[in-house]
Each structure stands twice: as structure tokens, then as C-alpha cells.
Amino acid sequence: MDILIVSVASLFAGWIDSIVGGGGLILVPALFAAFPSSPPANLFGTNKSASLWGIYGW
């Protein structure tokens, strides 16, 4: 279930990021809500890697 929530949040964040930028404002809280016991550095790194995939269109 957590993967589904994060996937939907990632899709929405990518859509917002493509229009106005700032998709991390959606994805970071979703990651913290879905994985509260994970270290913050892992979650911020996941957000950064997702934004790099979106920037370069891979």
C-alpha cells in the first residue's frame, strides 16, 4: 500500500514539477508519511534521484 501511495504522489509531483516546478513539495511529505522509520537522508536522496530522472527525461 505504501508503494501505491508514493507512486501516486510521485506522479502528481512530476506533473506539478513539469508545469511550475517544486514537485518536491509534494513528494517529500509523502515519503515521510509512507516511511516514517527511514532515515531522512535516505528519503531526501530518493526525492533527489526522482527529480533528476524527471529533469533529464530518462
Q: What is the pTM of this model?
A: 0.78
Range of the domain at 33: 2-56
Q: Between vectors from CA 5 to CA 57 and to CA 28, what angle results, nearest 5°? A: 65
pLDDT, tens digit, for every residue of 15-57? 887 788 788 888 899 999 999 999 999 999 988 887 777 666 5
Q: How many domains does the chain have?
A: 1
Give the CB-side neighbour count of residue 21, counting CA atoms within 13 A. 0
Q: What is the pLDDT of residue 34?
A: 92
- pLDDT score of 44: 93
| pLDDT value for 10 | 83
**Cα–Cα dist 14/57, whole Å:** 11
Q: How many CB atoms lie within 10 A of CB 24?
A: 17
